[in-house]
Structure 1
Amino acid sequence: MTAAPVIQTFPRHARLLSGADYQRVFQDARRQRGRELTLLYRHSESGEARLGLAIGKRHVRRAADRNRIKRLVREAFRHRRTRLPAMDLIVLARGSAATADRRVLRAEIDSLLERL
């Protein structure tokens, strides 16, 4: 019999929730840039990786496109969360992300997370 698979969730403690959390990252961030997405990160005092999303209307006009990008990023983070260093991460989208194929976006976020 095989072992049960590890449940990969996105619990509340793995999210950036408050404005203060976001401000700490924005003020003291290192940056990884891709063609469609930008990853801001800094060391986390919580001892584990935490994710925040800043997918603005200014760059991605349609709500459906913003939600699609957020789903893809959360899924990629959820699959790698236990293997990531203790970092607070914020993902930003560029305007071209709205029209990018989901496979391109997923490959890019995987690449950005891998570089950490």
Structure 2
Amino acid sequence: MVTYEFSRESRILTPGQFQQVFSKSSRFGSSHFTILITKNKLDKPRLGFAVAKKRVKLAVQRNRIKRLTRESFRLAQHDLPNIDIVVMVKSGIDNLDNATINKQLVKTWRKIIQRHKP
């Protein structure tokens, strides 16, 4: 049975885990996202965020972006390869509506899946 949960094991939590992604990663981007990915030894993808205050001033907006990204990842995680993903945002993303942000994320997940076919 396929579960669509976003558990603690699906998250990148420690500074060491983030450092691993930042040190050896490939980049995927859209006009408002930069997504860094690196392979992991687990049997599922993991997600982390680096949403800077400099890029998105209001906490409400930062949280909205993270919430949308988390939900999009939760639905796409079964198609994604075993990778660690760190999502970074670019300036101006806080002006986009939810549907546009979601569309960009879906397109990026598709790109990652295509590039990492076994």
Report the equivalent of 1:74.
Answer: 70
Give the counterpart of 1:25 among 7, 21, 24.
21
CA-based RMSD: 1.2
Report the equivalent of 1:103.
Answer: 99
Query: Within 1, Cα distance between the matches of 2:87 and 2:96?
Result: 16
Gaps of 5+ in 2: 113-118
Task: State TM-score, norm by structure 1.
Answer: 0.92
Q: Tell me the number of residue pairs that the alignment of Structure 1 and Structure 2 aligns.
A: 112
Could you tell me which amino acid in structure 1 is paired with residue 70 of structure 2?
A: R
Report the Cα offset of residue 47 of structure 1: 2.4
Percent identity between matched residues is 30
Query: Within 1, Cα distance between the matches of 2:69 and 2:91?
Result: 16
Gaps of 5+ in 1: none
Report the Cα offset of residue 48 of structure 1: 1.3
Report the Cα offset of residue 7 of structure 1: 3.9
Report the equivalent of 1:114.
Answer: 110
Report the Cα offset of residue 12 of structure 1: 0.7
1:59 aligns with 2:55: yes
1:90 aligns with 2:81: no
Query: Within 2, Cα distance between the matches of 1:6 and 1:48?
Result: 13
Query: Within 2, Cα distance between the matches of 1:34 and 1:11?
Result: 26
Which whole-Å deviations, capped at 9, do the CAs of 1:15-74 have from their partners, x for residues lacking one? 101000000000001001101111100101122100001111010000010001000000
Query: Within 2, Cα distance between the matches of 1:31 and 1:40?
Result: 5
Query: Within 1, Cα distance between the matches of 2:41 and 2:17?
Result: 11
Query: Within 1, Cα distance between the matches of 2:54 and 2:41?
Result: 31
Query: Within 1, Cα distance between the matches of 2:2 and 2:25?
Result: 31
SS at match of 2:48: strand
Structure 1 consecutive aligned stretches of length 4 or more whose deviation exceeds 3 Å = none
